[in-house]
Structures are given as C-alpha cells and as structure tokens.
Structure 1
Amino acid sequence: MSGLRVIRPGPQSLLQDGGRHGWQHFGVSPAGPLDLHAAAWANRLLDNPWGTPLLEIALGYLELESELDTWLALTGAEVAATLDGTPLPPWSRFPLRAGQRLKLGFARSGQRAYLAVAGGFHAPSQLGSVSTQQREGLGGLQGTGEPLRTGDLLPCLAADFSRALSVPWPYQPDYRAPARLRVIGGGDKAGFAADQVQAFFERSWQLSPQSDRMGARLLGEPLAAPSRQWSQGVCRGAIQVPPDGQPIILQADHQTMGGYPILGWLHPLDQARLAQCPAHHELRFSPVDIGEAQGELREFYRFFGR
C-alpha cells in the first residue's frame, strides 16, 4: 500500500484512533487523542467514521511527502502549514497529490494538531485499537508504541472530493484565551474540608511543565486533602489530590488504579481545551451539574456520529 512518507517526524507524532477500550481491568489504559474535539472535526471534514485512525502531532514541525493522490484535514493547534510552500487555511480539508510535500511549523497557539486522511491511516490493531501508548508499548505503525520516525510510511488509500471544506469559525477554539474548565463533583469530595473545595474553584492554577499524556499536573497554593487507605479504579478526567496538595488531572494514557483522593472529574468536553494548554497557562475551574455535562456530551456524540 502507498501512503505518506515521513520526512521529518516532529517532537512527538502519534497514531491515534477512538481508543483502546475494555481493557482497563487488565491494567491497559485507553489512550486515544487528547483533544477529542479537534480529532473529531478532522475526521468529520473527510466523512470518516468516528475514531478513524489519524495523527496527533505535538508542537508541529512535521514534514510528509505523498506517494498518492488523496485528501487531508488539519485541525487543532495553530501551526504554519504549507503544501509545496503554499500556505493552507486552518481547520480545513485539502487535496494532496503524489510528490507534494506537507510541512507544519511549530505551534503558535495550542499544543497538538490533528491530521486525518480520507479513509484513515492503516496500521495493525492491538487489543482492538491502533492508538499509540508509549508507556505500555502498544499501537502505532509497528505495534510497539513508538512515535513516528524519519522514513516511516503512513499507509492510506487514494481518494478524491469535489471541493475543499473548512470548519465554521465559531467552532474553532481560541487556544490563547484563559482556560475555563468545568468540574463534576464526586468521588472523595465529601471528605475534603468545605474551605478546600471552595479554594480549588476560587484559586488560579497553572499547568505544570511536568504534564504529559498520562496526567496534567497543576501548580498553585496546595490543597489539604483527606487520606484514603485503599486504591480504586480511575478514569480519564479524574482530579486526584496527592499529599503535596497539587492536583493532577488524569489524561488519555492514565493509570488504571489510583490511591489519591479524588475531588471530582473534569467535564469530558473540557478535556479537549486542557489538551491544548501550554506549560504555565492559567487554568480556572467552576462546578457543573452532571446532568448538564451528560446532555452536552450526548449532543457532541450525536453530531459526530458516535
């Protein structure tokens, strides 16, 4: 199969799909894209089904050369994208001809760009997914959890569309704006002192440079957390408060068990905004009703055909 040849892989470019679900009881995290919103739009622009394999490109600086005629869609972080030197509009789909080169510069806002191809990229499935999980050595082009390397071939099929298409501007996020993130209360929240819960929502936090695909670490005035004597299963979005009082929000590559007390869960749709925050970006939190969050998530899934 032909495809796109990797000329320059960028700092970390990972093949992702809808995630590796149903294996957490064996200690395997789901992985998948950190920014579900941008990934969903990239596939929708190409009429790909939900979860079709695409690239998550951290910080940009990717270069690919095509071996076939197809269509691509680029969403997410603002990267200077060019096709044979011609600038490309953001959050849009565009044709790519055999021999042409796509270049992405470093991200000017946001942290992760998403590149989809018509029909999706092809790779061997492991435990029902091609998602790259580096810590566990699963997924990716070789099935060993590695990011893209120079010389790799991203297999895909030829495709054609009648016209270019872009995401309407109201649906394109402003990654430079302060992040306002909503939290569903629960877990061990009742064990926290009321003033500590209030402090979490009233204080301004920063994203730590130590954050990764496993967890987003917050920096700010420490919280006092209750103790817990046992571990329990955890999921993406859980807000853990370790003994140092600096909260950790679990991300797509999270561990499957945790012993730190949980203050609540980040709204699933706001996880996408968190994924695009650079180090030291200001974060503010507000409570949200679980019913409201469920309604918004159902609408999101309906729109994107999940």
Structure 2
Amino acid sequence: MSLTVVTPGPLSLLQDLGRHGHQHIGVSPGGPMDEHAFLWANRLLDNPNHAAQIEIAMGQFSCQFHTETTIALTGADMAAKLNQQPISPWQSFSVRAGDQLTLRGSQAGIRAYLAVKDGFVVDPVLNSCATVMRDSLGGPDTQGRKLAAQDCLHYSATPAQPLRRVPRQFIPQYGQDVTLEVIPGYQYAQFAPEQQQRFFSHTYTVTPQIDRMGYRLAGEAITCQTTSLISEGIALGAIQIPADGQPIVLMRDRQTIGGYPKIGCLTASSLSKLAQCQPGAQIRFVEKDLYQAEAERMIEQHFFHSYVGKKRAEAIINQALTT
C-alpha cells in the first residue's frame, strides 16, 4: 500500500496545510506554496483539507503506485503521463498496482500537486507533516528532508472513486505578467506618498533569488522614512523593503521575525499566483481594501472548509462533468 518515488526532481516535498501555532518558538508554518491548487486536489478526492500531498517544484518527477487508489493532479501543467499516456491536470484519475506517473517540466507555472485518496500516511511533527527544510521538520522521515529516489510513501488502498475535474472557471492561467493585490500594512504610512505611488505604479521583475522562504523582486527602489525597526513577527505574504529598496515577499518557510519595514501584505489568492511565477515574471501591485479582502477570504474558506461549502463544491464539480 505505497508509492515509490523513482525520480524526485529538483524539489519535491510532502506538504499539508502547515504547522500552525508555533511561530512564537521560531517554527515556520510551511505548507503549500499554491494553496488554491492544494485545496482543489484534496477536494477532487473528498479528502480532508489538511490531507498530505506531494508538492512538485519544476517537474522531472516520476513515481510508481503499488496498490489501487485514486489520485488528483493540480497546479502547473508539467506534461504529465500516466503509463505513458498524456493526462491533463486539475482532475482525478484511477490507478492500479504497477501504474507509473511521470511529470516533465512546465512552460507556465512551477509547482504541481499530487494527492491520493485519503492522503499520504506520514508521521506528524507538532501536528503537521509539512516539510520545512530550514527547520529540519516534517517530510518522509520527520527531519525536514525533501523526497529522494526510492522513498516509499504509504497510503490506504481504496476502490475506484468517481472521476472528477475542476470547473474551468476555477483553473488559474499561470503566466509571466501578473497583477497582485496588496493590503497596506500598519507601517504603510511610514513610506512617503511618492514612495507609495512608485510602488504601485511601476513593474517589478521576479529575480532568480526565489525559494519557499521568499521571492526577491527587482525594479524601482522604494525608500522608507524609518530605516530600522525592532524585530517583530512576520505575516505570510508580507512585503519587506530592505536597505536596497528592492521588495521581498515572504512565503511559507519565512523566518518568524524580522526588522525591515513592510509596505503591505499580499492577499492569499495573490500569494498563490506569485508562487507559480518563474524568474523573469513581470509583477504589478494594486491596492486591496482590507475588508474586501477579508470578505473574499471568508467566502473561499467557507467553500473549502464548511460542510455546506463542500457540498457546494461537489455540486459545481458534478455540474462541470455534465457540461
């Protein structure tokens, strides 16, 4: 009752929704970089939202299944093949013992998500299996290790499930020209009006210096009236402005405290968009009202997390299958 990793690719990690409630002791939450794709993979299989998946960055991944189950594949289209037959992401598939899945690379987006029915069975650390390599937590051995060739991941054998696909309107188009929504932070007023205008009126480029901790951008330098702050807790999606004026967006494996001024914070949906951007992507920022962002987040959370929302998601999926 397992899956064997044949080729792990550059960076394939076990992730669930993250290790929350421990930042006060310096533990990063981790979790999926593209939460939207992660949640849909579990929804396709009627899994708990927290069920563990494989996050595959940059492709070049292959595995073999040793028992029957149903899988779901979401995120970037990495020219996947199941038993050498091309398959498209954002839907579920039945697999049997001996079946092989291969993913190559992607021209748009950099992360794909592989889920199995009921999730992978992984020992948790601090109530989560999320892999945070910097903290040496989570993953297949609880020590924060990325997946390697011949790793064996366990899951429960399940009979064939109804096959589903995500409705087209919920499938994002990954590209290299992206607009991201920013909620101004409480330090926003410490940036002069002309600096605020510069931030929102210029285009920034995603540099090669990107990882699960943060995305470094390059463009018009932003200056802050305050150059140093007492270190404080860091929120997911916070946009730090260091001394060189080039924004850094903090991601899932961010440090838990920092002292750079922060001009704002990305919304959750924009964070998922940024997580799929390749180096060279052109980024523009637009201001987002806090209350509107909260309302949209509540709707999304209701859709995926509440019983009524899950039934609504099921109805939407079933409707898509008949059209």
TM-score bracket, shorter-length normalisation: over 0.9
My pick for the range that moved more, 228-237 or 21-30, is 228-237
Does 1:166 pair with 2:173?
A: no
Identical-residue share of aligned pairs (%): 44
CA contact (8 A) 2:229 2:261 kept: no
Gaps in structure 1 of 5+ consecutive residues: none
SS in 2 for 1:107: coil
The 8 Å contact of residues 187 and 261 in structure 1, kept in 2 or not, is answered as: no
Asked if 1:62 corresponds to 2:61, the answer is yes
Residues 215-294 of structure 1 correspond to what in structure 2 (within 5 A)? 215-225=214-224, 226-294=226-294
Letter of the 1:230 partner, please give it.
I
Unpaired runs of 5+ residues, structure 2, are: 307-323
Partners in 1 of 2:239 and 2:229 — Cα distance? 18
What is residue 104 of structure 2 aligned with on the other side?
A: 105
- Structure 2 match to 1:77: 76
Q: Aligned AA for 1:254?
A: R
Match of residue 6 from structure 1: 5
Which residue in the other structure is 1:155 paired with? 154
Partner of 1:210: 209
Q: Secondary structure at the match of 1:200?
A: helix
Partner residue in 2 for 1:47: 46
Contact map agreement 1:3 1:155 (CA 8 A) in 2: yes
1:68 and 1:158 in contact (8 A); partners too: yes
User: Aligned AA for 1:83?
Assistant: L
Contact 2:177 2:283 (C-alpha < 8 Å) held by counterparts: yes
What is the DSSP-based 3-state SS (H/G/I as helix, E as strand, rest coil) of the residue aligned with 1:208? strand
Question: Is the deviation greater in 218-227 or in 18-27?
Answer: 218-227
Contact 2:229 2:260 in 1 (8 A): no
The TM-score normalised by the length of structure 1 is 0.98
**Which AA in structure 1 matches 2:260?**
Y
In the other structure, the counterpart of 1:200 is: 199
**Are 2:94 and 1:86 aligned?**
no
Q: Is the 8 A contact 1:78 1:90 kept in 2?
A: yes
2:140 corresponds to: 141
Post-superposition shift, 1:15?
Answer: 0.2
Alpha-carbon deviation of 1:229?
3.4
TM-score, L = length of structure 2: 0.93
Q: Distance in 1 between matches of 2:160 and 2:178?
A: 36
Distance 2:233 2:300 in 1: 26
1:172, 1:111 → 2: CA distance? Answer: 15
1:35-91 Cα shifts (integer Å, max 9, x gaps): 000000000000001111001100111111111000100000111111111111221
In structure 1, C-alpha distance between the alignment counterparts of 2:8 and 2:235, rounded to whole Å: 30
Provide, for residues 237-273 of structure 1, a one-character-per-residue CA deviation record: whole Å limited to 9, x for no partner. Answer: 1111000000111100010100000101101121000
C-alpha contact (below 8 Å) 1:133/1:139 kept by paired residues: yes
Moved more, 31-40 or 102-111: 102-111
Q: CA deviation at 1:162?
A: 4.2
Say which structure is richer in helix: 2
* SS in structure 1 at match of 2:75: strand
Residues 118, 159 of structure 1: 8 Å contact kept: yes
Q: Is the 8 A contact 1:14 1:148 kept in 2?
A: yes
Q: Give the structure 1 partner of residue 303 of structure 2.
A: 303
What letter corresponds to residue 166 of structure 2 in structure 1?
V
Which structure shows the higher strand fraction?
A: 1
Contact 2:73-2:113 within 8 A present in 1 as well: yes
- Quick one: distance in 2 between partners of 1:244 and 1:274? 21
Amino acid at match of 1:262: K
**What do residues 110-144 of structure 1 show as CA deviations (whole Å, max 9, x unaligned)?**
01000000000111100110000000100001011
Offset of residue 159 of structure 1: 1.4
1:117 alignment partner in structure 2: 116
Q: Which moved more, 1:218-227 or 1:16-25?
A: 218-227
Provide the rounded CA distance (Å) in 2 between the counterparts of 1:90 and 1:77.
8
Aligned to 2:131: 132
User: In 2, distance between residues paired with 1:23 and 1:35?
Assistant: 21
Using a 3 Å threshold, how does the CA distance of structure 1 residues 35 and 231 change in structure 2: closer, same or farther?
same
Q: Report the secondary structure of 1:218's partner residue.
A: strand
Any residues of structure 2 matched to 1:166-185 within 5 Å, and which?
Answer: 166-176=165-175, 178-185=177-184
**SS of match in other structure, 1:73:** strand
